[in-house]
Amino acid sequence: MVFRLEPILRPMVWGTEMWVLSGYPERMSVVVDGPCKGMTINELVAQFKEGLLGRWAYWRFGDEFPLLVKYLDVRKPLSIQVHPSESLARERHGAHGKNEMWYVIRAAEGAQLMSGLSARITPEDYVRKVADGTITDVIAHHDIKEGDVFFIPTGRIHALLPGSYVAEIQQTSDMTYRIYDYNRPGLDGKPRQLHTELAKEAIDYHVYSDYRVHYNPRKDVEVPLVSCPFFSTSLLDLDSPFKLDIRRRDSFVILMEVGGSGTVVCDGQKEELGHNGCLLIPASSEEIEFFPGPDGLKLLLGQL
């Protein structure tokens, strides 16, 4: 059985984000059609258990869907932020940490994003630079284009900037420490809370030589992108019909459209996939067939 869920659109001070697959308690995805219409994603997990998540994932997460999938339409800078690690988030908040990855679907000419430190600073330097508004001077800025990929592990300072449309796959968590927000109010007109001290202990202060994910784009083959203890992602860029055997993955597979359109067939069920489309394939499925449209079909795949 293939599951399509109702998107949740959220207006933000920086643009809009669409949660297309979420087990987060306050914004839970709901099945839009079929025999399970009206069920939340976590109710699906509770009913189908290993058949939906996979044996290892169900042992690890129980009746909780472990990933959160979004599209981000960025028109103004996001706040500069950092996410706590799994251990720190559990210790402080009883919640999951937040590792995430970005795939740039499109970017305006000259668009950039921030990821990682460009210069070595101490925790004391960090506090001072937040206070005097110079924290952006020590964050690496990256020019971006369609197809660029960035992994944002916990501890890495980051922010999306205007002119980008991005697919995001992350842990099921909304745990964010806001470091700097350009002194702007929220949508309610009130100042947005900063978490300067909480972030101080969460930041990875190392400077790395490269913050991008590098891969070789290929047609009609699954290309690995990001792999971490909490999820893995890959890319399918299809011009021809394609079959994907998932029997040995022991994981659900998320199909997230990042270009073109087409048809997906799995377990005898046919589903169309186009703009901002997202489908959930259960771990019990054996094979997925893809039939790209006239402009091809490009998909971001997420799994454990």
17-54, pLDDT tens digit by residue?
999 999 998 899 999 999 999 999 999 999 999 999 99
User: Is 155 found in the same domain as 43?
Assistant: yes
Q: Single out the residue in 213, 241, 267 at which a domain terminates.
A: 213
Give the pLDDT score at 190: 86
Is the CB of residue 181 less than 8 Å from the CB of residue 80? yes
264: domain CATH number is 2.60.120.10
Interval 252-264 mean pLDDT: 98
Distance between CA atoms of residues 269 and 3, nearest Å: 10
Burial class (CB in 10 A: 0-12, 13-18, 19+), 214: exposed
The domain of 267 spans: 222-303
Same structural domain, 232 and 84: no
The chain-wide mean pLDDT, for the chain, equals 96
Residue whose C-alpha is closest to residue 176's, from 72, 88, 63 = 88
Domain boundary among 187, 213, 239: 213
Residues 154, 12 within the same domain: yes
Question: Which amino acid, one-letter code, is at 232?
Answer: S
* 52, 40 contact by CB (below 8 A): no
Whether residue 195 sits in one domain with residue 265: no
Give DSSP secondary structure letters for 221-266.
SEEEEEEETTEEEEEEEESS-EEEE-TTS-S-EEEEEEEEEEEEEE
Confidence of residue 247 (pLDDT cuts 50, 70, 90): very high
Measure the CA–CA gap between 70 and 142, rounded to whole angstroms.
21
Q: Nearest-CA neighbor of 161 among 147, 140, 177, 175?
A: 140
Our measurement of the distance from residue 49's CA atom to the centroid of its chain's CA atoms, rounded to an integer in Å, reads: 23
Amino acid at 271: E
pLDDT tens per residue, range 48-89: 999 999 999 999 999 999 999 999 999 999 999 999 999 999
pLDDT at residue 183 greater than cutoff 90? no
pLDDT attached to residue 283: 98
Q: 200 and 57 in one domain?
A: yes
**Separation between Cα atoms, residue 14 and residue 98, nearest integer Å:** 20
Do the beta carbons of residue 136 and residue 115 sit within 8 Å? no
Within this chain, do residues 208 and 238 fall inside the same structural domain, yes or no? no
Cβ(117)–Cβ(138) under 8 Å?
Answer: yes
pLDDT value at position 1?
87
Residues 187 and 227 in one domain: no
Clarify whether residues 133 and 227 are in a common domain.
no
- Check pLDDT > 90 for residue 191: no
Q: What is the model's pLDDT at position 76?
A: 97
Which of 182, 213, 244 is the C-terminal boundary of a domain? 213
Both 226 and 204 in one domain: the answer is no
**Both 183 and 226 in a single domain?**
no
- Shared-domain flag, residues 147 and 294: no
Checking if the pLDDT of 262 tops 90, the result is: yes
How many structural domains is the chain composed of? 2
Residues 14 and 123 in one domain: yes
> CB of 155 within 8 A of CB of 62?
no
Contact indicator for 220, 237 with CB cutoff of 8 Å = yes
Find, among 174, 182, 264, 257, the residue nearest to 13 by Cα: 182
**Confidence (pLDDT) at 186:** 87
Q: Give residue 252's pLDDT.
A: 98
Query: If you average pLDDT over residues 267-296, what whole number do you get?
Result: 96
User: 160 to each of 4, 57, 78, 129, how far by Cα in Å?
Assistant: 28, 30, 6, 20
